[in-house]
Amino acid sequence: MNRKVTFKDIGLVDYKDAWDYQEKLFREVVDKKLANRSLTEEEKEFTGNYLLFCEHPHVFTIGKSGSENNLLVNQENLAQRNIAYYKINRGGDITYHGPGQVVAYPILNLDYFFTDIHRYMRSLEEAVIRMLAEYGIKGDRLKGMTGVWLDVDHPAKARKICAMGVRTSHWVTMHGIALNVNTDLQYFSLIIPCGITDKAVTSMAKELGFEPNTDEVKAKLKKHLAEVFEYEYIS
């Protein structure tokens, strides 16, 4: 079992460049898994596991099951606002990425952890919930929804602080977490976030009344992901 994860913070990076990089790592892991099938136990090699952190310039992305009706502006308006737009191969609907948002992309071979997508999503949520607790923010799960939410016991007040969408193939993951830290929430008014019409979006800065240090948030999230998934970093 290989529960060692290579960590890389690739900084502020164009969404398509980060997507291409994910795809490269994802394909390497899948290809090695498939090659291992024809080898003896002695010949098989461990596949890699990766965790990428980054931020993106302004961009809307929509998943395979998403509705373009949830994009509330046209292409000309997107261009005027300098917002990119991509249809991508994760689950979920439309979401926003931008500066001040911490994005985490785990590329994990779940054969080394657990082959259960429901548990995988709940584990991602758990890491974010534990990290938020360090700032006195009570994150929680909202029945029937993915991501991390606040005030789930008061439906009229429930709001999302962290969106999630993943892709898996051969039990290898990609895409992941978008945590609003110091995010400009005005951009969410240009979409129906995740296709949900009756719930607001929030950020750590809005909840705390000040802008937390992004590097500190990253460090805490990195730690909690390792604890929840019981792995260790090798860089």
Q: Could you tell me which of 182, 184, 3 has the C-alpha nearest to residue 106?
A: 3
18-71 pLDDT per residue, tens: 999 999 999 999 999 999 989 888 888 899 999 999 999 999 999 887 888 888
Q: Which amino acid is at 152?
A: V
Q: Which two tokens stand for residue 14?
A: 């164009």
pLDDT, residue 31, reads 96
What domains lie within the chain, and their CATH numbers?
Answer: 4-233 (3.30.930.10)
pLDDT, residue 216, reads 98
Reading phi first (left if > 0) and then psi (alpha if -120 to 50, else beta), residue 209 is in left
Q: Could you tell me which of 177, 192, 42 has the C-alpha nearest to residue 120?
A: 177
Alpha carbons 55 and 44: distance in angstroms, whole number: 36
Residue 12 burial class via C-beta count within 10 angstroms: exposed 0-12, middle 13-18, buried 19 and up:
exposed
pLDDT, residue 213, reads 97
pLDDT, residue 19, reads 95
106-160 pLDDT per residue, tens: 999 999 999 999 999 999 999 999 999 999 999 999 988 999 999 999 988 999 9
Asked about 162 being catalytic, the answer comes back as no
162-206 pLDDT per residue, tens: 999 999 999 999 999 999 999 999 999 988 877 777 788 999 999
pTM: 0.93
- Backbone φ and ψ for 146, nearest 5 degrees, come out as -95, 170
Place of tokens 């789930």: 152
Per annotation, catalytic residue among 110, 174, 194, 225: 194
Q: Which two tokens stand for residue 179?
A: 């945590």
pLDDT, residue 198, reads 74
